[in-house]
Structure 1
Amino acid sequence: MSDNTISLSRWLIEQERTYGHIPGSLRLLIEQVARACKRISRAVNKGASTGILGSAGSENVQGEVQKQLDVIANDVLLEANEWGGHLAAMASEELERIHVIPHRYPRGEYLLMFDPLDGSSNIEVNVTIGTIFSVLHLADGVSEVGPEHFLQAGRQQVAAGYCTYGPQTSLVLTLGHGVSVFTLDSEQGSFVLTQSSLRIPALTQEFSINMSNMRHWAAPVRRYIDECLAGQDGPRGKNFNMRWVGSMVADVHRVLQRGGVFLYPWDKREPERAGKLRLLYEANPMAFLVEQAGGMAIAGTERILDIQPETLHQRAAVILGSNEEVALLQRYHREAS
């Protein structure tokens, strides 16, 4: 690394000392999460050579078949973060109940939530996958932590981010003062700052959605996609490209870097569900990042970060990305309702 390279640790210390953006305990928590992500990255990188691909032979609380790497990533995050003294409890997409910090360790003031391995259905085909995380502050005076303490609206997050495991291992992070991107230098074993004050491009000609579900979409989403597909001769007056990886971290990372809109909307296959993605582990942290990068994130007519959670594993529709595109989709939902 060159003399002017800024490591994640140095950057966090500067945020604490120079700008007063974060307390020391939150800085140390973020560093622990980053170390866990490095361990997961190494496990993912070894892949089939260590025999850890394929099914774990179990299901998570969502009723989904777990991959071996799902279980490994979940265990790594729990073990790496429970002893540091910065957390009171953790919640995972893979666990039915919260994980309260054992009494043998000091208890901290934060709550950590995570999707340990987003996009794990793509593991065997070597497509980018990742870890998503979110940090909340535990209310003062709480002696016994329960699931109800995690049920805070997304706007109350104090930090959020994700790590991608692909051609590069990248950590994308917000502390509520913009979005920064760090890339793992495998030789040094450190995350180094590669982008500051990331902003989603305002002008875009890309959308990201699973087109195979078109027949199940609500009218506002179908209207928007039909207009995009009409191209230069249609009402939008320009041609659009569709991009879809099937890993939320990969699709949202592209939107953050290149602009566009990511949609995982409600559909009529399971009309009683608000959506497919989990509010606490996926929608909220990604919405926080997108808004901090100058974009918008909605669940239809409502801002995602304003949704009041009712359960740990609540689901939500997700539409996020460049401001103008998301605002148009929000208008179409309001007109339809």
Structure 2
Amino acid sequence: MERHVTLGEFIIENQKDFPYAKGELSALLSSIKLAGKLVNQQINKAGLAEILGKIGKQNIQGENQAKLDLIANDIFIDTFRNRGEVCGLGSEELEDFIVFDDDIHREAKYIVLIDPLDGSSNIDVDITVGTIFSIYRRISKEGSPVTSEDFLQPGRNQVAAGYIIYGTSTILVYTSGNGVNGFTFDPGIGSFFLSHPNIKFPKKGNTYSINEGNYIHFPKGIKKYIKWVQELDENENRPFTSRYTGSLVADFHRNMLLGGIYLYPEGTTSPHGKLRLLYESNPMAFLTEQAGGKATDGSKRILDITPKELHQRVPLICGNREMVEKAEKFLKEG
């Protein structure tokens, strides 16, 4: 009889993947799992509970907040506050980071950066959304309050990162630097089970994900790349297929499983790119590289960028290595 491995069992069996941890990081991933279940529950009953729609306020990014944005944000904050593995948290929905400075959390080794509900503009029309998370070891001395230095670390310092995708099924995907694995939630049992072991980008891909409505603003190299992927070439299986939902988690998940490239370049209506380095680009870049792909801002590796502020935006091109390198070549040639 085939053994079905739960997320909890998998974490325990792979404890060696966490070189500095003595159980704290495993417990932290369990906290994320718990919060994800609670967010999933809220999403599934959103229409019935009248928690769809906007709240009439904007977040620090200047974007209209959905009711579920704040609900998801509060769920993750409360979950981390009620458990002792985290000494600080940064959220895309908050202007500044949160310091957990009490006896329970002061000695904790880890900080978390989170996008509680990626793609929330899609909630009202029932399109897939997700949660993105990123985990670092603190730099500041244990026992003291965390500082901005703890959060402004380059992405290569991540000890774990991942996302939860809330779609036709709910899947938690994460890496701790030893490959990428996905776990599907069984609502009948209430557990996540290993369903996508050792995920790798296919060698070849033929899907590109970009908001072509911004075409007029794109750099010349990106425009040329789009024309190239749309050309007929039977030897290279072109034209490629365009798939873009406006939900980074959904587009990334599909491209990683089936083969593709995601692009949000500079020169759009967001001059420096739209995606946040800390909350979106770094965790997705970590996953990309662990799955055999490549993640760049168009010229340099995303994980080597040293952030200057909590809500810094960067261009992001990630996915199948061959496809990303082709896009980089077009950008370089201009």
Normalised TM-score (structure 1): 0.94
Q: Shift of the alpha carbon at 1:85?
A: 1.5
3-state SS of 2:239 partner: coil
Percent sequence identity over matched residues? 42
Deviations 1:262-303 (A, max 9, x none): 1111125343xx210000000000010011000000101011
For residues 332 and 86 of structure 1, do their structure 2 counterparts lie closer, same or farther at Cα, with a shift above 3 Å needed?
same
Partner of 1:180: 181
Q: Shift of the alpha carbon at 1:219?
A: 1.0
Q: Shift of the alpha carbon at 1:141?
A: 2.1
How far apart, CA to CA, are the structure 2 residues paired with 1:288 and 1:239? 29
How far apart, CA to CA, are the structure 1 residues paired with 2:18 and 2:304? 26
2:136 matched to 1:136?
yes
Partner of 1:147: 148
Normalised TM-score (structure 2): 0.95
How far apart, CA to CA, are the structure 2 residues paired with 1:305 and 1:20? 19
How far apart, CA to CA, are the structure 2 residues paired with 1:62 and 1:198? 32
Structure 1 unmatched ranges of 5 or more:
none
1:306-317 alignment, distance < 5 Å: 306-317=304-315
How far apart, CA to CA, are the structure 2 residues paired with 1:83 and 1:38? 16
How far apart, CA to CA, are the structure 1 residues paired with 2:270 and 2:319? 25
Moved over 3 A (4+): 19-22, 268-271
RMSD: 1.7
Partner of 2:96: 97
2:308 matched to 1:289?
no
How far apart, CA to CA, are the structure 2 residues paired with 1:213 and 1:91? 29
For residues 251 and 237 of structure 1, do their structure 2 counterparts lie closer, same or farther at Cα, with a shift above 3 Å needed?
closer
Is the contact made by 1:25 and 1:86 (CA closer than 8 Å) also made in structure 2? Answer: yes
How far apart, CA to CA, are the structure 2 residues paired with 1:77 and 1:120? 16
Deviations 1:150-204 (A, max 9, x none): 0110011000000011100000110100000000000010111001111000111
How far apart, CA to CA, are the structure 1 residues paired with 2:134 and 2:268? 29
3-state SS of 1:48 partner: coil
Query: What amino acid sits opposite 1:269 in the alignment?
Result: T
Deviations 1:25-62 (A, max 9, x none): 00000000110001000000001101111112221111
1:226-245 alignment, distance < 5 Å: 226-232=227-233, 238-245=238-245
Higher mean C-alpha deviation, range 38-47 or range 138-147: 138-147
Partner of 1:260: 260
3-state SS of 1:27 partner: helix
2:54 matched to 1:25?
no
How far apart, CA to CA, are the structure 1 residues paired with 2:130 and 2:176? 19
Is the contact made by 1:16 and 1:22 (CA closer than 8 Å) also made in structure 2? Answer: no
How far apart, CA to CA, are the structure 2 residues paired with 1:135 and 1:11? 18
1:160-239 alignment, distance < 5 Å: 160-232=161-233, 238-239=238-239
Q: Shift of the alpha carbon at 1:315?
A: 0.2
How far apart, CA to CA, are the structure 1 residues paired with 2:316 and 2:265? 6
Q: Shift of the alpha carbon at 1:140?
A: 5.0
For residues 10 and 22 of structure 1, do their structure 2 counterparts lie closer, same or farther at Cα, with a shift above 3 Å needed?
farther
Q: Shift of the alpha carbon at 1:144?
A: 2.7
* Count of residues in Structure 1 that have an aligned counterpart in Structure 2: 331
For residues 232 and 46 of structure 1, do their structure 2 counterparts lie closer, same or farther at Cα, with a shift above 3 Å needed?
same
How far apart, CA to CA, are the structure 1 residues paired with 2:300 and 2:220? 17
326, 329, 332: which one aligns with 1:331: 329
Partner of 1:5: 4
Deviations 1:97-131 (A, max 9, x none): 11111425333110100000000000011000000
